[in-house]
Amino acid sequence: MAGGTTIRHLLLRPDFRRLLLTRLASQFGDGVFQAALAGTVLFNPQRAADPVDVAAAFAVLLLPYSLVGPFAGVWLDRWSRRQVLLRAHVLRAPLVACVAVLVLGSVEGAAFYAAGLAVFSVNRFVLAALSAALPHVVDEPSLVSANAFSTTSGTVATVAGGGAALGLLQLTDSGDVAYAGVALAAALPYLGAAAVVAGFARPYLGPDHMARSARLSTREIARGMVSGVRHAWAEQPAAAVLAAIGVHRLCYGVLTLMTLLLYRNTFPADGPLPGGLLGLGAVVAAGAVGTLLAAVVTPSVVRRIGKPRWVVVLLTAAGLAQLTLGLVLQPATVLVGALLIGVIGQSVKICVDTTLQERIDDDHRGRLFSVHDTLFNVSFVVALLAAAVVLPPSGVSRPVVAAVGVLYLLTAAGYAWWSRSSAETAPERLRSTQ
């Protein structure tokens, strides 16, 4: 599978193009669905929500899956990942239809969140499977470029789906009927993704050693999960990047709720940089531009200075940005901040995904990407819940912004130390095994 490592060379591979198209269709649908759900909870004039309500909504939608996600990752290392992707996308179509019916009926509370949780749970399964399958369609030297291009393209597809949903909502009165219709529209790209991934042969995307039976006992699942965690801990670079992405998501969760409150309650709805749903859409678009820049910059920078140094630079830049630009809390600076966080967050994620794919063998890779996904969600929700307690309804709190900046800088220092220690002990571990 040797060959060039540029995007052009990657796109010459039909298997890479097929997996990429599966991701793009899937994440476009995610964008449509998430915009409909966010609009329903945050900006629907027929509903209302305070900071605690918003944080609780995220917690209900993300935490239950996050508690079982790592165990579900054991299945990704036993079942055909092609079958997981195919069935998951087919399943999501009726699930989003259920959510649309509940929105149309103005249903709130447990039933609404349970339906949304079902869609989000399947979505996390899909993303973990896509990342675990990527090494089967590219060679190892191409992994940084492949991750940069595929994950960034997926993020852009999500933003494009959200933009399409916002465009549709602008043509309506943005009530329950409109949000229900947009949510239902997400079923089309999900079914499209299922049709694309069906073109792979069943064993093509791994794992290398599939189970003869799809059934797993509770003991087998627990044993597999423990094995996966031990495998990650033994690979210190993998453990270090997981810790770094966890702290980044804590910071990102605080900034997310702050941004939502600023655009919902503080920034005026008129003017060149309006508040409300349109202004929030501009923030999302700025973040998408940042992810594109990350895809362009990260592969070349990693080739020059390596992943560990690049992660340190990124976390340091994030801290300095919050301690300067972030303290202004105006629409223009929030947009610039979203652009920078887009670059930083996506660049760190590219380094995390590539490190896991390089350091973790295929029989553990599904578990580790599920652990990564769970850490991603739990850190985000914990930060949201904490921010809901300390942030005022206006979202304006410069001490909180400063605390986020300091946390980024401390994480950069800690990651630099951990990476240096791992590099120094690696030769010793190698000699001890000889």
Cβ-contact 333, 322 below 8 angstroms = no
Cβ-contact 397, 258 below 8 angstroms = yes
Distance from C-alpha of 75 to C-alpha of 206, rounded to nearest angstrom: 12
The answer to whether position 37 is within a domain reads yes
Q: What is the mean pLDDT of the chain?
A: 84
pLDDT of residue 317 exceeding 90, the answer is yes
Q: What is the pLDDT of residue 430?
A: 35
The answer to whether position 261 is within a domain reads yes
pLDDT of residue 424 exceeding 60, the answer is no
pLDDT of residue 232 exceeding 60, the answer is yes
Share of the chain above pLDDT 90, in %: 44
pLDDT of residue 231 exceeding 90, the answer is no
The answer to whether position 1 is within a domain reads no
Q: What is the pLDDT of residue 433?
A: 38
Rank 211-215, 362-366, 378-382 by mean pLDDT and report only the highest.
Answer: 378-382
pLDDT of residue 434 exceeding 80, the answer is no
How does DSSP assign 68-104, residue by residue?
HHHHHHHHHTTS-HHHHHHHHHHHHHHHHHHHHHHHH
pLDDT of residue 225 exceeding 80, the answer is no
- Residue 420, φ and ψ in degrees, nearest 5: -65, -40
How does DSSP assign 282-296, residue by residue?
HHHHHHHHHHHHHHH
Which residues span the domain enclosing 278? Answer: 7-209+217-432
The answer to whether position 148 is within a domain reads yes
Q: What is the pLDDT of residues 237-272, one digit of tens each?
A: 888 888 999 999 999 999 999 998 898 888 887 777
Element (H, E) at 157: helix 143-170
| Segment 210-216 mean pLDDT | 56
pLDDT-derived band at 37, boundaries 50, 70, 90: confident
pLDDT of residue 217 exceeding 70, the answer is no
Q: What is the pLDDT of residue 199?
A: 96
Share of the chain above pLDDT 70, in %: 84
Instruction: Tell me whether residue 434 is exposed, middle or buried, using C-beta atoms within 10 angstroms of its C-beta: 0 to 12, 13 to 18, 19 or more.
Output: exposed
- Residue 6, φ and ψ in degrees, nearest 5: -80, 165
CA-closest candidate to residue 225, choices 369, 104, 81: 369
Total count of domains within the chain? 1
CATH code of residue 109: 1.20.1250.20
Q: What is the pLDDT of residues 10-34, one digit of tens each?
A: 899 999 999 999 999 999 999 999 8
The answer to whether position 2 is within a domain reads no
pLDDT-derived band at 428, boundaries 50, 70, 90: very low
Q: What is the pLDDT of residue 210?
A: 67
pLDDT of residue 366 exceeding 80, the answer is no
The answer to whether position 282 is within a domain reads yes
pLDDT-derived band at 136, boundaries 50, 70, 90: very high
Which of 287-296, 328-337, 394-403, 425-434 bottoms out in mean pLDDT, i.e. has the lowest?
425-434
Distance from C-alpha of 408 to C-alpha of 413, rounded to nearest angstrom: 9
| Segment 266-284 mean pLDDT | 81
Instruction: Tell me whether residue 229 is exposed, middle or buried, using C-beta atoms within 10 angstroms of its C-beta: 0 to 12, 13 to 18, 19 or more.
Output: middle
The residue with greater pLDDT, 118 or 61, is 118
Q: What is the pLDDT of residue 2?
A: 43
Cβ-contact 124, 26 below 8 angstroms = no
The answer to whether position 114 is within a domain reads yes
pLDDT of residue 212 exceeding 60, the answer is no
Q: What is the pLDDT of residue 427?
A: 43
Rank 39-48, 58-67, 246-255, 414-423 by mean pLDDT and report only the highest.
Answer: 246-255
Q: What is the pLDDT of residue 67?
A: 64
The answer to whether position 355 is within a domain reads yes
